[in-house]
Amino acid sequence: LNDTYLYVAAGDGGLRVLNKDIGLLNEIGDFDSPGLASGMDLIPATGGCYVFLADFNGMQVITAIDEAHPTAMVSYFSPALPARVAVSGDYAYLADRMQGLRIVSAANPALPTLVGSRPTPGIAYDVSVRDDLAYLAVGKAGLRVVDVIDPSAPGEVYSATVDTAGDAVAVTAAAEAIYLADSGEGLVGVTFSETITGTLVLTGTLDTAGTALDVAVAGDYAYVADGAKGLVVVSRFPLE
């Protein structure tokens, strides 16, 4: 979302643009991507934004200067299955279910270029980037942390994953912890110590009533998309 509009990755419905006025929530524009739109991130631009959309077919870069008529600028096609994308600085980080982490230059949105990649031990479902570290939710392998200070040569920060009890399918990195949506096992909180060995510590879990499929963090709360149980709001200090 930005200050005025909501952008929704809507599966076979592509990209949908909605007015953000809660009292009058309505769709004002759309873009039909070639694949199944599954994740996206935004870069602000004068008068609007650029949308980086992962759709299992590749990454679509869409200009939304005119929000009612979002238009494809360029497509970056991946030979595998990119499902989620996070933009940080001049780079877009793709979680690819077959090839792990893929890093694409976004300095010129009209010319995305692959600059680096890193395989993961499990299926890379989601990625979140903070302070030159990429956090990946890798299914049954839990959490993987990758150093991306040099995007052309991403390297492991920790030699092992945090092995969660469920299937880690979504991740978001906050200042004090990393939060994983762990499917049937609910929400998981992870912290790490700044040591040579880089110990990862599983600090809390909360078994939600449904199936935790996604998570976002704002203020003191985590917001969990909990499958058939809808939205679950969780206090982060501690998880409860």
* Least confidently predicted of 13-17, 53-57, 157-161, 186-190: 157-161
Cα–Cα distance between 1 and 97 in angstroms, integer? Answer: 25
Q: How many residues does the chain have?
A: 240
Grouping H, G, I as helix, E, B as strand and the rest as coil, residue 32 is: coil
CA distance 55 to 37: 4
Residue 198 pLDDT: 56
pLDDT recorded at residue 195: 45
pLDDT at position 139 is 94
pTM for this predicted structure: 0.91
Choose the weakest-confidence range: 115-124, 194-203, 220-229, 231-240: 194-203
Q: Is the pLDDT of residue 90 over 50?
A: yes
**Residue 22 confidence class, pLDDT cut points 50, 70, 90:** low
> Please, what is the average pLDDT of the chain?
88
Dihedral pair phi/psi, residue 229, rounded to 5°: -90, 0
Which amino acid is located at 104 in the chain? V
Percent of the chain past pLDDT 70, that is, above it, reads: 92
Pick from 64-68, 128-132, 135-139, 151-155: least confident: 64-68
